């Protein structure tokens, strides 16, 4: 007997609820990362190679500083574009 449209779901987990193993693994990973974060300054100080230190900084930087995004005028709505133009006009008037 296959799935029938309108058939009620019986048992199992609710939609959006992670399974038990996923929840346990995430908890273990979180505990591990929190422990490692405490030792990160000491670990960083122990790295003698400037190249390796820079490599580590480059790898962890995206987790600390958000990546800059390119913005173009075409991305702005007419309303937001009008606000930009008005702001620039006001700044120019203040300079004069």
In a domain, 32, yes or no: yes
Cα 44 from Cα 37, distance rounded (Å): 11
In a domain, 14, yes or no: no
User: Residue 64 — pLDDT band, cuts 50, 70, 90?
Assistant: confident
SS3 33: helix
Looking at residue 19, its pLDDT comes to: 79
In a domain, 39, yes or no: yes
In a domain, 91, yes or no: no
Average model confidence (pLDDT) across the chain: 84
Instruction: Note whether 40 and 46 are within 8 A (CB).
Output: no
In a domain, 27, yes or no: yes
| Number of domains within the chain | 1
Q: Which domain holds residue 54?
A: 20-64
Find the angle CA(23)-CA(39)-CA(31) to the nearest 5 degrees: 10
pLDDT at position 1 over 60: no
In a domain, 96, yes or no: no
In a domain, 49, yes or no: yes
User: Residue 76 — pLDDT band, cuts 50, 70, 90?
Assistant: confident
Note the pTM of the prediction, 2 decimals: 0.43
């Amino acid at each position: 007997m296959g799935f029938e449209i309108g058939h009620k779901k019986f048992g199992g987990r609710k939609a959006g609820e992670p399974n038990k193993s996923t929840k346990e693994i995430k908890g273990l990973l979180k505990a591990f990362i929190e422990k490692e974060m405490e030792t990160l300054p000491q670990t960083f100080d122990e790295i003698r190679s400037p190249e390796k230190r820079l490599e580590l900084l480059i790898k962890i930087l995206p987790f600390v500083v958000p990546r800059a995004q390119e913005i173009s005028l075409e991305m702005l709505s007419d309303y937001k574009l009008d606000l930009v133009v008005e702001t620039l006009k006001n700044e120019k008037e203040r300079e004069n």
